Amino acid sequence: MKHITQSMNTFSFSILITTALIVSIIVGCSSSNSEAADFPNILMGNADIPEVDPVPDIVEIVKMLTPAVVHIRTDKLESGFFNQLIRQTGVGSGLILDKDGRILTNNHVVMGADSLTVT
């Protein structure tokens, strides 16, 4: 039971991090280039802080993006101490990027896997 709880906590944390990354991209893309160029001056107090659009409601963003989050299971066969095959399983998360089904995930989730199952 402890393993299942840890897996769910890891999966929930992955969803939170993925959502935070997407929100930061959305907010970052909404600022203009002139504001980005003034950022060092703003930090030093040499420029006025520009007015920005309000940050989108995080609840609405999560509702919109949650269906795009996927669970990735990896399987890998390795040779054990006496050359017996040992199946290793890993899990991770990803985000569906487009209608073609391309998925964004970290390399360590899929590196060296013999098979992937995405749900």
**What pTM does this model have?**
0.49
Q: 74 with 116: CB under 8 angstroms?
A: yes
Q: Residue 56's domain spans which residues?
A: 2-118
Number of domains in the chain: 1
- CATH number of the domain that 23 lies in? 2.40.10
Which amino acid belongs to residue 34? S
Say if CB 70 and CB 118 are below 8 A apart.
Answer: yes
pLDDT digits (tens, 9 = 90+) for 11-70: 666 776 777 667 666 655 554 445 455 555 555 666 666 666 677 788 887 887 788 899
pLDDT in tens, 78-111: 888 888 999 999 999 998 888 888 899 999 999 9
